[in-house]
Amino acid sequence: MSRIIFESSPLYLFVCLAFSAGVAVLLYRSKSPWSKNINRLLLAFRFVLLFLLTLLLLGPIIKQIDNFFDKPVIVVVQDNSGSMQEVMDSTRLNAIAASVRQLGQALEEKEYEVEIRGLIDSKGGSDFTKTLKAISADYENRKIASTVLITDGIYNEGLSPLYSTFNFPVFTVGVGDTVERTDIVIKNILANKIAYEGNRFPLLLSFQATGFENKEVQVKLLHKGKEVESKKVLVKNENFTQVEFQPVATEQGIQRYEAIISPQSSEWNTSNNRATVFVEVVAGKKKILAVASAPHPDIKALRAVIDENANYDFTLYIPGVIEADITKLQQEADVILLFQAPDARGRNRALFQQLMKTKASLFFVLGEQTDWAELKRGNIVSFEALPRQYDDVTPSVNNSFSLFSLSEEVATTFNNFPPASVPFVKMAMNPSATPLLFQKVGSVVTDKSLLYIDSQEERKIAVMQGEGLWRWRLHEFARTENTEAFDEVFGKLLQYLATTDDRRKFRCYPVKQEFLDTEQVQLETQVYNEIFESIYGNTIDIELTDEAGKRTNYSYTTSAGNTRYTIGVLPEGVYRYKASTTLQEREEVRGEFLVVKQQLELQNLTADFNLLRKLASQTGGAFYKMDDWESLQNQLTQKEAVASIHSEEILNSLINLKWIFFLLLALVGTEWLVRKYSGGY
């Protein structure tokens, strides 16, 4: 349906008609060399031409309304998950697929639009909610008459569909066996992601046994195919049974541990009697050495933070009070805490000079007993005159600090802390230093740092310019019954100091440490020049070794938009890689990653028709068993398909139409040809 609308009053059409007629009559009223009939024809051509031209000056717009008819949609979802394929043979699956195609043809004859799709596979499991929400999103502007879900009702990913709402009825078709059979299922296997070489670590196995009450089952733990531990466990009921192992971490790297429950003669499904967990075994903990001239409560405050992290090994050395093998410790330490050391009495001055020669990160907590002159000679602090007096200041968090992130609550908590004692002297930081805490006097935040972080010759240094940390921790606990803010700041500070910066010019690493056996394995490559600018065009050689010792070689060249290499999908296991390239000399990087197998679909093979009944009832659909397929087809095909209509309005200026241009050209050309042919000029 189309009509013409005008930007100005339609009354101007009469003006256009009068003007066009007047001009045409004036032009063709005089005598001419052609006949009267030709003269009338030429007058008509000129009148139409002038009328169209003046009409276009009025800016007419064609308003066109097009109506579109959309067929109602019926989506048929056929569960293609592992649980379906495990309990049903190919003949039954093919029969279901044939029934689905027959239903689709019958619905299309009734003027329905039919789409057949599979269940969304999410991380190796079945996700009903994600599948149904995807249908709703795909047909957001269309009418979904209904959705048919053919499944065993077993979902193991995402939320239950009963807790979601859908804007279409769901007709569920139950397939599979609902009878619970005797079975042992490993539900979970837990272990620490990291274990230390030579230490025992806990590994907890949880399993559920149906039909084996008051019976003993044997559970084995294997490492590299060899039995590590074995236990006989009494199954008391059908609830979860837990078994704990304490294996010893004997080798560094990512290690595979496999738990196996010996299959029972009456078990229906034995594929879920086995589970795998991977543990990364590292050489040892980060070693933190604390050196002090005398006992101080600040030591205990920081030690409480360190003891909460199992990755730290803390040692305290106070000459004459707490002795230790300081020579060995200073060689092995990753971080050295110096509590008012070197001290003013000079008892650990020589030790301080030795510690400055190590590569360990340093954390200074200064105070009234500090030997400030020695620190200045060591280029740790800079000041105009030796401190003689001390002032009380409160901490204020630097909002622009970016070396590591802090939660929003930290700043509020630190603003309420009691004062710390700092030297009343003008001190200067190195330009490379970054303040973490500023000094606040009263309610005024100064530009003087209270705690700052610096780097000297690739060594990280933190300096706390005052003492009184113990008051902060006690104050926070008194107010909140926890020390979260204090522990967060100093815990992250110690973690930052203990982390070694990667200064290699060639790096190659997996985009993540753990891949599923259905994911593409990718390696990221970074190559730098002497000033650590990214460079490209290097040929990267990769050698990949699996657990069986099989080696596979790959090679690729980096470019500005191509720094990742996709190896592809790999089977479950631990993989070690060696990447190499040539810079000034041959550079080499080694590492490892693991590929894990998801067996969610094989843990439970008992169909859940109760879920399907509730889902159908909740959405306004109906539940059928596969044997009642004809009843479902009759119900769907008996309902008349009512198409939805939506209109589209199109506004187009008349002057933009191509045929108007050609019409005007034809009028001008025809008039000119007739005049020339009839002897006119």
Predicted pLDDT of residue 221: 92
Averaged pLDDT, 67-82: 79
Instruction: Write the single-letter amino acid at 128.
Output: F
Is it the case that residue 396 has pLDDT exceeding 90?
yes
What's the domain count of the chain? 5
Averaged pLDDT, 117-126: 66
Is residue 205 in a domain? yes
Host domain of residue 353: 286-498
pLDDT band at 87 (very low <50, low <70, confident <90, very high): low
CATH number at residue 362: 3.40.50.880
- DSSP letters of 574-623? EEEEEEEEESSSEEEEEEEEEEE---GGGT--S--HHHHHHHHHHHT--E
Is residue 103 in a domain? yes
pLDDT band at 599 (very low <50, low <70, confident <90, very high): low
Give the total residue count for the chain.
Answer: 681
Whole-number Å distance between alpha carbons of 469 and 481 = 17
278 and 295 both lie in a single domain? no
Is residue 643 in a domain? no
Is residue 645 in a domain? no
Predicted pLDDT of residue 417: 93
* Tens-digit pLDDT profile for residues 136-195: 888 887 888 888 888 877 776 767 788 888 888 888 888 876 666 677 777 778 887 777
404 and 334 both lie in a single domain? yes
- Last residue of one domain, picked from the residues 254, 282, 310: 282
Whole-number Å distance between alpha carbons of 115 and 70 = 14
Provide the percentage of residues in the chain whose pLDDT is more than 70: 93
Is it the case that residue 122 has pLDDT exceeding 60?
no
* Tens-digit pLDDT profile for residues 302-327: 999 998 887 788 989 888 778 777 77
Predicted pLDDT of residue 168: 87
404 and 549 both lie in a single domain? no
Is it the case that residue 235 has pLDDT exceeding 70?
yes
Higher pLDDT, 236 or 607: 236
* Residue closest to 193 by CA, chosen among 594, 578, 600: 594
* Tens-digit pLDDT profile for residues 199-225: 788 888 888 777 777 788 888 999 888
pTM reported for the whole predicted model: 0.48
Is it the case that residue 265 has pLDDT exceeding 90?
no
Is residue 601 in a domain? no
Is it the case that residue 378 has pLDDT exceeding 60?
yes
Higher pLDDT, 213 or 18: 18
CATH number at residue 190: 2.60.40.10
Backbone angles phi, psi at 453, to 5 degrees: -125, 135
Predicted pLDDT of residue 88: 65
442 and 474 both lie in a single domain? yes
Whole-number Å distance between alpha carbons of 502 and 332 = 19
